[in-house]
């Protein structure tokens, strides 16, 4: 009897293994057939492998999800770019020009060559030191056209799996997925009628939305010469468009020279110092550098006040570690953010888990309450692992004072400006400095600040309040004296005229 039981168990294990193997191989075979049909629609394997390089000109719009003037809005600004992708030699060059709301103009780019990435700034005429990059990163930067995605899928074909059928853009599609060189899983939607790649998507974790779907859509595909190219390449997160890029020009297999992959002439080489983990600005007043952001914290008699929660849960955990090393055995009682943008408030849930009371601008309270309730199941954050009911204190009458009788910080809402509808700053009357985010940014290497419309608004506010300010401490970059601040504003006005 015991022997028969063993035989039955063995047969069950073998049968289960066969079923599992059958399901996997069947899924792969169906997915490979879909891929082959899509490859054929774009000219076939030989045609795709003959693509040595691609040149693109982009003319479209950046859509500022989590970077608009009000929470939830989707402000748009113009965006242009030139890209050159050399597939055969793993080289790439990109220059781009755009802006953020409030006069934050940028014009920059990068070159990837010889396993290194070198960034440059065409406004300041500076270039950063080369930094190592990986083949996987190059592949990730290269998915600008359906053909380039399919070439990567062909390299990674053994990871293909068939997911089924779905309607997209009112058309039936077959859906497959594969694992990219860097371990990301991309889901591809192949049009059943045409075989064209309509979009790809992946699951990501967004600091404000938690589990989120990120899409890249190829809209308006049509034949140009012997190639099929989309009219637009559109990114979306949870259905909200984040980039709407028109492909103004696309050229394949152009003649290349080494000069095409060099940093532009006239760039001043700069280096960035290693950030100091904690900087003491005055007695009991500090900033910690977390992932390049300056997070303010103040040592009151019985508690700690923190201002700014940039980036993500990971960045906030890094900041909290340094804060508690500097000031042990005290709770973080209050936390504030300058404004709702994700590079300033993306790690706010971490402080909710700490039990801190969040001092927020009045119109942003509802937004952060919504953020507190989202799901982080794919990559659980600190609040997911340690749930707490968040505590909010909207700013009343534009001001909140924290003091223990020795140290005082005054929080102000400076009101509607070019960058945001509401903006908080922290003013230290005894020390005569003010902590701010995005109102006057300065490069981390100490290069001179460049003022913009938002800076002018901030300076006018300081003067209207008659605050005694000698220095501004920024979230981004290095401190600036008021004399330097005023000079930067005057230089901006001269250039404008």
Backbone Cα Rg of the chain: 27
20 band by pLDDT with thresholds 50, 70 and 90 = low
Map tokens 């981390």 to a residue.
444
CATH number corresponding to 20-269: 2.50.20.10
User: Does 435 have pLDDT greater than 50?
Assistant: yes
User: Does 168 have pLDDT greater than 50?
Assistant: yes
pLDDT at 145: 98
pLDDT tens per residue across span 405-419? 999 999 999 999 999
200 band by pLDDT with thresholds 50, 70 and 90 = very high
Mean pLDDT of 337-360: 97
d(CA 289, CA 298): 14
Spatial CA neighbour of 202 closest among 224, 180, 220 = 180
End-to-end Cα, the chain, rounded Å: 98
Which tokens go with 199? 């979009």
User: Structure pTM?
Assistant: 0.92
pLDDT tens per residue across span 78-121? 999 999 999 999 999 999 999 999 989 999 999 999 999 999 99
497 band by pLDDT with thresholds 50, 70 and 90 = confident
d(CA 475, CA 495): 26
Identify the burial level of 60 via C-beta atoms within 10 angstroms of its C-beta, where 0-12 means exposed, 13-18 middle and 19 or more buried: buried
Domain covering 278-496 assigned CATH 3.60.15.10 in the classification? yes
- Positive or negative torsion for Cα 364, 391, 319, 373: negative
Which tokens go with 174? 């077959």
Helix or strand run (H / E) with residue 34 = helix 2-41
Beta pairing, strands 91-100 & 104-113? antiparallel
Which tokens go with 367? 């937004």
For residue 8, the number of C-alpha atoms closer than 13 Å in the C-beta half-sphere is 5
354 band by pLDDT with thresholds 50, 70 and 90 = very high
Q: Cα 273–279–285 angle (5° rounding)?
A: 155
12 band by pLDDT with thresholds 50, 70 and 90 = very low
User: Does 4 have pLDDT greater than 80?
Assistant: no
pLDDT at 1: 45
Beta pairing, strands 161-168 & 126-127? unpaired
Q: How many C-beta neighbours within 10 Å does residue 227 have?
A: 19
d(CA 310, CA 88): 39
Helix ranges restricted to H, 399-452: none
pLDDT at 496: 82
β-pair partners for 248: none
- Long-range Cβ pairs for the range 401-404 (8 Å, 24+): 402/298, 402/300, 402/305, 402/334, 403/300, 404/300, 404/301, 404/302
Residues 299 and 306 sit within 8 Å (Cβ to Cβ)? no
pLDDT tens per residue across span 376-396? 999 999 999 999 999 999 999
d(CA 337, CA 70): 14
For every residue of 278-325, which 3-state class applies, written as one string?
Answer: EEEEECCEEEEEECCEEEEEEECCCCEEEECCCCCHHHHHHHHHHHHH
pLDDT at 22: 82
User: Does 19 have pLDDT greater than 80?
Assistant: no
Map tokens 């913009």 to a residue.
452
pLDDT at 55: 97
Residues 251 and 79 sit within 8 Å (Cβ to Cβ)? no
d(CA 101, CA 146): 31
Spatial CA neighbour of 309 closest among 300, 320, 322 = 320
Spatial CA neighbour of 46 closest among 226, 170, 232 = 226
d(CA 131, CA 304): 37
d(CA 131, CA 271): 12
pLDDT tens per residue across span 448-468? 999 999 999 999 999 999 999
Q: Which residues contact 303 (CB under 8 A, 6 or more apart)?
A: 330, 331, 332, 333, 334
Spatial CA neighbour of 320 closest among 343, 342, 352, 368 = 352
User: Does 480 have pLDDT greater than 90?
Assistant: yes
User: Does 15 have pLDDT greater than 90?
Assistant: no
pLDDT tens per residue across span 269-296? 999 899 999 999 999 999 999 999 999 9
β-pair partners for 186: 178
Q: How many C-beta neighbours within 10 Å does residue 97 have?
A: 17
Q: Cα 127–131–135 angle (5° rounding)?
A: 125
Q: What is the average pLDDT value for the chain, to the nearest integer? A: 94
Residues 143 and 216 sit within 8 Å (Cβ to Cβ)? yes
Q: How many C-beta neighbours within 10 Å does residue 210 have?
A: 22
Q: Do domains 20-269 and 278-496 have the same CATH topology?
A: no
pLDDT at 428: 98
pLDDT at 452: 95
For the chain, which residues make up each domain, given as ranges? Answer: 20-269, 278-496
For residue 306, the number of C-alpha atoms closer than 13 Å in the C-beta half-sphere is 35
């Amino acid at each position: 009897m015991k022997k028969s039981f063993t035989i039955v168990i063995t047969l069950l294990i073998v049968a289960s293994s066969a079923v599992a193997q059958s399901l996997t191989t069947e899924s792969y075979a169906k997915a490979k057939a879909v891929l082959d049909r899509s490859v054929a629609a774009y000219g076939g394997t030989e045609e795709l492998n003959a693509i040595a390089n691609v040149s693109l000109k982009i003319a479209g719009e950046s859509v500022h999800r989590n970077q608009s003037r009000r929470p939830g809005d989707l402000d748009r600004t113009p965006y242009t770019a030139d890209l050159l992708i050399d597939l055969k030699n793993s080289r790439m060059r990109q220059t781009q020009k755009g802006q953020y709301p409030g006069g934050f103009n940028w014009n920059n780019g990068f070159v990837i060559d010889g396993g290194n990435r070198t960034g440059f700034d065409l406004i300041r005429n500076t270039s950063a030191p080369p930094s190592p990059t990986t083949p996987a990163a190059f592949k990730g930067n290269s998915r600008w056209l359906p053909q380039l995605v399919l070439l990567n899928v062909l390299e990674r074909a053994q990871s293909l799996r068939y997911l089924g059928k779905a309607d997209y853009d009112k058309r039936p599609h077959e859906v497959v997925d594969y694992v990219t060189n860097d371990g990301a899983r991309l889901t591809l939607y192949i049009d059943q009628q045409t075989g064209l790649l309509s979009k790809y998507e992946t699951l990501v974790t967004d600091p404000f939305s938690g589990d989120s779907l990120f899409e890249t859509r190829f809209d308006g595909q049509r034949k140009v010469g012997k190639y099929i190219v989309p009219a637009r390449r559109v990114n979306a997160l949870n259905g909200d468009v984040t980039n709407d890029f028109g492909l103004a020009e696309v050229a394949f297999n152009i003649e290349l020279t080494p000069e095409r992959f060099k940093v532009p002439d006239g760039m001043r080489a700069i280096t960035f110092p290693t950030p100091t983990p904690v900087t003491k600005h005055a007695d009991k007043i500090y900033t910690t550098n977390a992932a390049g952001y300056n997070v303010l914290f103040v040592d009151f008699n019985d508690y700690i006040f923190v201002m700014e929660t940039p980036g993500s849960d990971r960045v906030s955990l890094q900041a909290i570690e340094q804060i508690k090393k500097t000031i042990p055995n005290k709770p973080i009682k209050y936390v504030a953010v300058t404004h709702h943008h994700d590079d300033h408030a993306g790690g706010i849930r971490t402080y909710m888990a700490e039990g801190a009371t969040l001092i927020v601008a009045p119109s942003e309270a509802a937004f952060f309450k919504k953020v507190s309730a989202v799901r982080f199941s794919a990559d659980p954050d600190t609040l997911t692992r340690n749930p707490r009911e968040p505590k909010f204190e909207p700013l009343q009458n534009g001001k909140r004072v924290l003091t223990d009788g020795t140290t005082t910080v005054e929080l102000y809402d400076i009101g509607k400006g070019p960058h945001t509808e509401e903006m908080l700053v922290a003013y230290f009357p005894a020390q005569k400095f003010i902590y701010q985010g995005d109102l006057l940014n300065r490069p981390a290497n100490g290069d001179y600040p460049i003022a913009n419309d938002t800076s002018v608004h901030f300076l006018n506010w300081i003067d209207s309040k008659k605050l005694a300010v000698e220095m501004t401490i920024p979230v981004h970059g290095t401190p600036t004296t008021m004399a330097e601040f005023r000079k930067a504003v005057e230089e901006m006005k001269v250039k404008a005229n």
